[in-house]
């Protein structure tokens, strides 16, 4: 599809205001007034992330003179090469507004926020995505295609993606129920209906017994074996039953701080 894939490193803030575990709690209150932020990463002398202190910690927890006594140490952190989509998914699922970004050694390198997520999606929005795809097909195969907006029978769709995420399925199901779901993008080649974009919507539709999926259909007007079909063939993806549903947010580029600390302690043994 159009546009390059965006990563956390493309949108994260690298000039991060951080504090130490020995920072006085009273100074955190002053810092919040001055910076207008309500949470700060806590790092040690080596700039390795060891916690997070928030306005909630200051107000709701029993008073402590220093940050070390009130900071949270169990955090969700991301690698800077995590995709924006995956970062958005984890932040939404966890209900967090800011996610620290660390390198492989646990050193703080940035922070990604909900505001950054919104900005990334606005910048990457492509209202002409379907038309762009249509033209790409025409240029690639030297043909003239037609575009229709129509319902496609779910049972006719051939998926080309091998996995979907359970939490995103919940979001797509909600959109379907409220009539808010965007149309999928489908290619009709010969008598086959190839699902290009919208696998979460299609799987959610299948799970709920919907007989059709609202779709933009790019009709090639002839039988052409698409590259994505060949890839799906090799992966054994023929029906929605062949798609793996990932019900786990332990992404390889996401970690919990305690696991990083465990790794570090093992290295010191």
pLDDT in tens, 180-228: 788 999 999 999 999 999 999 999 999 999 999 999 999 999 999 998 8
Q: Residue 88: is its pLDDT beyond 70?
A: yes
Q: Residue 167: is its pLDDT beyond 90?
A: no
Question: What is the per-residue pLDDT for 91?
Answer: 85
Q: Residue 268: is its pLDDT beyond 70?
A: no
**Token duo for residue 39:** 């949470």
CA dist 246 and 215 (Å) reads 24
Prediction pTM value: 0.57
Domain ranges in the chain are 8-122+250-268, 127-238
Do the Cβ atoms of 143 and 222 come closer than 8 Å?
Answer: yes
| Paired sense of beta strands 39-43 and 212-219, if any | unpaired
CA dist 66 and 28 (Å) reads 9
Assign 94 a pLDDT band (cuts: 50, 70, 90): confident
127-238 matches 8-122+250-268 in CATH topology: no
Question: What is the per-residue pLDDT for 123?
Answer: 54
Q: 127-238 — its CATH code?
A: 3.90.1530.10
CA dist 6 and 169 (Å) reads 21
CA dist 27 and 32 (Å) reads 9
Question: What is the per-residue pLDDT for 97?
Answer: 84
**DSSP letter string, 24-51:** BHHHHHHHHHHH--SEEEEE-TT-BEEE
Question: What is the per-residue pLDDT for 203?
Answer: 95
Question: What is the per-residue pLDDT for 125?
Answer: 44
Question: What is the per-residue pLDDT for 121?
Answer: 64
- pLDDT tens across 107-151, in order? 999 999 888 887 776 555 445 678 888 988 999 889 999 999 999
Question: What is the per-residue pLDDT for 178?
Answer: 82
Find all residues with CB under 8 Å of 47, minimum gap 6, and list them: 18, 107, 108
CA dist 126 and 56 (Å) reads 38
Hey, which CATH number is domain 8-122+250-268, 3.10.580.10, 1.10.3720.10, 1.10.645.10, 3.40.50.2000? 3.10.580.10
């Amino acid at each position: 599809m159009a546009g390059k894939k965006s990563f956390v490193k493309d949108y994260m803030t690298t000039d991060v205001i951080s504090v130490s575990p020995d920072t006085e709690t009273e100074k955190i209150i002053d810092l919040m007034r001055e910076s207008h932020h309500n949470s700060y990463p806590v790092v040690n002398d080596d700039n390795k992330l060891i916690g997070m202190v928030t306005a909630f910690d200051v107000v709701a927890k029993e008073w402590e003179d220093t940050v070390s006594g009130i900071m949270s140490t169990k955090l969700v952190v991301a690698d800077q090469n995590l995709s924006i989509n995956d970062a958005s998914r984890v932040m939404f699922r966890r209900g967090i507004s800011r996610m620290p970004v660390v390198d492989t050694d646990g050193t703080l390198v940035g922070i990604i926020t909900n505001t950054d997520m919104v900005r990334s999606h606005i910048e990457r929005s492509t209202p002409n995505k379907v038309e762009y795809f249509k033209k790409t097909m025409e240029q690639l195969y030297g043909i003239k295609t037609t575009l229709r907006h129509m319902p496609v029978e779910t049972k006719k769709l051939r998926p080309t993606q091998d996995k979907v995420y359970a939490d995103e399925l919940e979001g797509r199901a909600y959109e379907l129920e409220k009539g808010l779901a965007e149309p999928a993008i489908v290619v009709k080649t010969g008598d086959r209906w190839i699902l290009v974009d919208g696998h979460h919507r299609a799987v959610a539709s299948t799970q709920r017994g919907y007989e059709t999926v609202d779709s933009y259909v790019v009709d090639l007007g002839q039988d052409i074996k698409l590259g994505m079909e060949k890839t799906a063939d090799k992966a054994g993806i023929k029906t929605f039953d062949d798609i793996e549903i990932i019900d786990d947010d332990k992404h390889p580029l996401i970690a919990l701080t305690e696991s990083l600390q465990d790794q570090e302690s093992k290295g010191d043994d």
